[in-house]
Every structure is written in structure tokens, then in C-alpha cells.
Chains A and B, each alone.
Chain A
Amino acid sequence: MHSSELHLPDYREQSPAVADRFRRIEARPVILDVRNLRKSYEANGINHTVFDNVSLSIHRREFICVVGSSGCGKSTLARIVAGLDESTGGEVLLDGTPVTGPGPDRGMVFQGYTLFPWLTVKRNVMFGLKMGGQSDSIAEAEARQWLDMVGLSKFEDSYPHELSGGMKQRVAIARALANKPRILLMDEPFAALDAQTRGQMQNYLLQIWRKVDVTVLFITHDLEEAAFLADRILVMGANPGRVMEFIENPVPRPRHDDQFLSPEFLALKKRLEEHIHPSSAGNHDHIPMIKMTDAGDDVE
């Protein structure tokens, strides 16, 4: 037992280089400021609180992940920031201005594929630019650049139904970024993809983020995904939804797949798991053994 236990560093231990990174991030202007946000709704005369007292500040070009078990209000938080839902308390400030409704300054990529099926890939990416009053030729040229960035130039005249799930989400990212939003909101964008594609998309997203001046608020329930992508991770708890911890990710950048076994990564993940499954240690003891056929007990 003792010998197999990993000796992990504390998740807060950071190399001087990483600590310096956070100092530099914090010196940048705040793009999104969420202050004491509260969301409740009424059902059958009872007032339910989705979450309360959620605060966070996101600095320019920062990559924030929000993790938490299902139902703790992660999507609701993203939707309020996007302006698609209304909060019932607190405020959301974008560049110091309160958010009142949806707008092109906050791009969103949803878990479901929300490309417009009647538009070609290129026209999808042009959509926001056209809404912003750009001429066809300028919008087209810009859309081509974005498609080039996500590696889908060859598919500009395809329709969404001809693309795989991963490709659709890359178009959705290009479509959101083409509007040059101040912040990119992503609500479990890769959750519906298979594990291998998801890994590729994560690498891809980091590459894009490095090249583009954009701030990311990324919602996920996949702890490894959060640890791989984020600068800081907002851990939310449920019943009622609340902020448990705002963790500075000690894993150095640039990120690569080899880091999945690094001590910092494992320490961070362990910490996240403690939040999400506080009692997971002794859980297996409660699962009863069900005998189906007498095949012997030596499965291990």
C-alpha cells in the first residue's frame, strides 16, 4: 500500500517560470468581471437557487476553465455571460460595461453542433461578419483566413452535414472567432466527440489560442481537459451551486501530451478530483458482488 502511493507535490507548487506567468497575466487588463452572480428560478411556487455568489475576473488572453459536477450551473453561468439568460443578482462586466443581452463581442461555441445547415462552411463563418454589416467580398476574404487557420479551407463549399463532429466544431470556432469577440465562451464543446478527436481538438484549440488575441472561458466536466487547457480553473460545487476554489494551474506552457503524467498534472488532477468526488476513496466497498455463474473468484 504505502509503496504504491504517489508522492505528489502540493498542487500549488509552481516553478518560478509559471509563477512569473501568473504575475504577468494579472498585470493585464480585466476583460470579464463576474461579481457575486446569482441565479435562481421559480418552479411550482418554490424558489430554486442554481448558484449564488459566483465571482471571477478574467484577464486578457487568459484561458479559464470551469469544472463541476453536472447540474451545478456551469452552462447557466456561460449563458448569462453570453446574454442568453438573465441573472437574478450580481453583475457581469465586459470591459467594465454591464452585459445586458447577447452580442458579437462574446462568441459562443455550444456542445451541440449549431452550424446553420442551410449555409456552406464558408457562409457559416461569414454569418457574423455579414450581421455586422461587412460587404460580401470582405466577409468572404476574412472567412477564408479563419478557415485556413482551422485547417478546413478545402471544405469551404461543403455543407455542415458532410463534416465530422470534430470538423463541425472547428467551423463553429472559426465562426465565433471571425467576429473578433473579446471573449470566447465554450460550453463543453468537445464533450460529444470521441476520445481521440477530443484530444486532437484540445491541442488544436491551444494552437489557435496562442495565435489569436482572444480570452477563453471554457466549460467542461472533464478534469483532464481542464488541467490540459487552463491557466486557471474555477471549481464549482453543487446544491447550491457555488465557487469551491479558483486554482492556478501549475503545469507549464506550452502544453503537450507528455505532461499528462507529469507530477504537477497529477497533483492538480488529484486536487480537482477531491473537489468533485470527495468520498470516492472508499466507494468500491459498497458495490455488492453479484454471482452470475460459478466461474471461480480469481478474476484478479
Chain B
Amino acid sequence: MAHHDWLGLKKELPPRRRLLLTVLSFVIPIAIWSVVSYVPWIWHPLIHITNPGEVDYFSEGLDIPKADFTKELGKAKAAGQQLPEGYAVNPVYLPAPHKVAAAFYTAFKTPPRLPNEPWLHESLGHSIRTIVLGFLISSLIGVPLGILCGTYRFFARLQEPFIEFFRYLPAPAFGALCVAVLGIEDAPKVAIIVIGTFFQQVLIIANSVRKTDPALIEAAQTLGASRWKLVSRVIIPASITDIYTDMRILLGWAWTYLIVAEVIGTMSGITLFINQQARYRNFDNVYAAIAMIGIIGVSTDMFLSWLGGNLFPWKRNTRSSVKKLSLFNQGPRKRLSGGLQSGTTPGN
């Protein structure tokens, strides 16, 4: 029965299975990470020295490759010296899950080493400001232009070939130019996000607008809709949910441009924080900060998805029981069977 079929082609899974698989998608990588971190005989290529013994280049707290440790241990044994002691560890760049989990809290409490360096929350705030500003500026021009191109072939022909070309130019390539024109502070960073978002935005939104069902436009025409009303009352509402989804995807892409943008000019925001923590070898903070970008991204998207459901009630898939209600109470028709009807195939 289909009920037992986990691998049905294109079949939606029941909600409980969906939830289970969603949880698993996170649990599996974390489990692998935990095994590598907590099971001492899996990987753990280094020995963390707790007691250097009489090996001269060992010192307490030093991480030594296993092979070197075994060699020195053998030598010390042969010479009858005090033996070095230690336990197997992973490299510092792979902190254990509990350390990274703790860093989600401690990273906020780690004070900057220099007075002019930002705290984590300041870095995050700075990054979010850069993204939001870049995305807003891009959308302010990109959305209307996309709708215009999607609606009128004239504007599509006039704009899209150039935009299509420009979108292949990698945004970071404009970094030096942006710094030369806009200075080294936030402006060039916002500009990179705008360049990275805008061109895709115009094309994607134009495509969504073009997908408007022409039958809806024709229906509106037969109802007396004028040219401008066709755009404002049919084409835009018909594509608004697709545009909204496009914007969610584009916002996700904007985040991927963020790190590139923040190294331009003076490094700033979350990129600066990550770089500094890496330099101080606080890799737990590094992972926590990277994960925070993901968490901010996913939770923003989830919020926008929830908001979309409220903004566009006609897209909610609550098929009510209305379908089963029949307002007709007539008996079955005394009709000759379908075989006696015209045998032509239905035209359109």
C-alpha cells in the first residue's frame, strides 16, 4: 500500500514523516560531527600534551601529531626518562559540538581585544544593515523595472539583453571600482549587494510577470478593463505571489554576497568578527558566527513564508469541504448514454 511507501515518486509525504525527515536532515550531520568529536579512536590525529615528561620540545597544552608523540614516547622509554603524557584530540579548527553550542552564548560575551573592534552583536547588526540597505535599493528600482519588462515586450527588448549580459559579470569584480568611487566605508559594500541582486532581480521578476495566465488578461478585457487597469488590477495581483517568492530567494542570494562585500574596503560586520576570531584561534566562535548567518537567513525566510500566507490568503491550500456541497437537488438526468453524444474530441 502507498501508506508504507517512503520513496513514492512525486508523492507528498504525510506531515509526521515530513517533520521526522526535517529533524533528521539536521540530526544526521550533527551526529557525524559528534562521532568524529567524541569517539577517541575515530580520527583524532593529534595528542594534547598534559605532561611533557622529559621530551625537550614538548610543553603542556601543545598538540603534537600522533606519530611524533609515539616516536618520542618510544625514545623516552628506551632512555628510561620520565614519560610524556597526553590524550588524543582533533585539530583546533574542529571544535566539538558542545563547544560551538556554548559559543552561541559565549561569543556574545567575548569582549573585543582592541577598543575599536566591535562586539558580535554589533558585527551582526552591521551586516544586517548592509544587506537590508542593499536589498532595498536594488528592489526600489528592480521590482518596478521587472514588472515593466514582464508586461511590455517593448521594455523587455530594450532592457533585458543588456541586463542578461551584465548579470554574468561577477559582482566582486566591481569591488575595486566601488572603493574608488564610493570610498572604503559602507557605501561600496552596499553597492556590491546591489550589483549582485539587481540584475537577477529584474530578469526573475520579469519572468514571473510574463507567466501571468493570458486567459485572465482576456477575461479582464471582456469585463471592460482598460490598459492601465490591466496592469494594476490583473497582471500585478496575478504575479504578486511569485514576485514575493522571488524576493525571498533573492534575499537569500544577497546573504551570499555579504561576505564578499564586507572584505571590500575596510573589513566590517560579521566577516570582520569571523576573521578576527579565526586569527585568535577561537574556532568555536567562528563556527557559531557562521551558523548564526544560516540561522538568521532561515528564520527570516520562515518568517517571510508565514507572512506570505497571511498576505495572500488565496494561496493557502485549505481546500474546504465546499467542494462536496451541492446546491442542486435534482435527480439524475434522463439522458441517453454518452455514446450517443457527438463523438468529436473536445476542442478548445
A273 part of interface (Cβ distance < 8 Å): yes
| Complex contacts, B341 vs chain A, CB 8 Å | 222-224
Encoded as 1 (CB less than 8 Å from any B CB) or 0, chain A from 111 to 154 comes to 11010111100000001100110000000000000000001100
A222–B327 Cα distance when bound, in Å, is 24
Shortest Cβ distance from B225 into A: residue: A131
A82 in the interface (beta carbon within 8 A):
yes
Picked from B213, B222, B233, B313, the residue with its CB within 8 Å of the CB of A106 is B222
Please judge, given known A-B contacts A111-B348, A118-B240, whether A195 and B338 are in contact too, CB under 8 Å.
yes
Does A258 make an interface contact (CB < 8 A)? yes
Determine if B2 is an interface residue (Cβ-Cβ < 8 Å). no
Q: Which A residues are in CB contact (< 8 Å) with B238?
A: 116-118
Q: Chain A interface: which size bin?
A: 35 or more
B interface residue count range (under 10 / 10 to 19 / 20 to 34 / 35 or more)? 35 or more
Does A40 sit within 8 A of B, measured CB to CB? no
In chain A, what residue has the closest Cβ to B342?
A: A223
Q: How far is the CB of B247 from chain A (nearest CB, A)?
A: 17
B320's partner among A83, A162, A191, A195 (CB-CB below 8 A) is A162
Taking CB atoms and an 8 Å cut-off, the chain B residues in 301-337 that contact chain A are 312-314, 318-320, 322-323, 327-328, 330, 332-336
Q: A69–B225 Cα gap in the complex (Å)?
A: 33
Which residue of A102, A132, A185, A280 has the most chain B CB atoms within 10 A of its CB atom? A102
By a CB distance below 8 angstroms, the chain B residues around A74 are 347
In whole Å, how far is B260's beta carbon from the nearest beta carbon of chain A? 38
Q: List residues 161-202 of chain B with CB under 8 A from any CB of chain A.
A: none
Q: In the bound complex, do residue A75 and residue B348 qualify as a contact, i.e. CB atoms below 8 Å apart?
A: yes
Against B, the Cβ 8 Å flags (1 = close, 0 = not) of A82-122 are 11100000000000000001111011101110101111000
B322 touches A188 (CB 8 A): no
Bound-state Cα–Cα, A151 to B327, Å: 7
Q: Taking the nearest CB of chain B, how far is it from the CB of A191, in angstroms?
A: 5
Expressed in whole angstroms, the Cα–Cα distance for A273 and B240 within the complex equals 47
State whether the Cβ of A155 lies closer than 8 Å to any Cβ in chain B. yes
Interface pair B334/A114, CB less than 8 Å apart: no
Other-chain contact of B224, A111, A132, A159 (Cβ < 8 Å)? A132
Asked if A169 is at the interface of the complex by the 8 Å CB criterion, the answer is no
A70 within 8 Å of B (CB atoms): yes
Contacts of B229 in A (CB 8 A): 131
* Interface 9-residue window, one of A24-32, A45-53, A54-62, A196-204: A196-204
| Closest chain A residue, CB of each to CB of B330 | A200
A293 part of interface (Cβ distance < 8 Å): no
B344 within 8 A of A: yes
- Do residues A69 and B215 form an inter-chain contact, with CB atoms below 8 A? no
Whether A110 pairs with B322 at a CB distance below 8 angstroms is: no
Contact in complex: B333, A131 (CB < 8 Å): no
B148 within 8 A of A: no
B240 engages A196 (CB within 8 Å): no
Residues of B with C-beta under 8 A to A195: 335, 338
Which A positions have Cβ atoms within 8 angstroms of B?
67, 69-71, 74-75, 82-84, 101-104, 106-108, 110-112, 114, 116-119, 127-128, 131-132, 151-152, 155, 158-164, 167, 175-176, 179, 185, 188, 191, 195-196, 199-200, 203-204, 221-224, 257-258, 260-261, 269, 272-273, 276-277, 280
Beyond the given pairs A116-B238, A152-B327, A162-B323, 7 more chain A to chain B contacts, judged by CB atoms under 8 angstroms and listed by A's residue number, are A75-B348, A110-B215, A118-B238, A118-B314, A161-B314, A162-B318, A276-B342
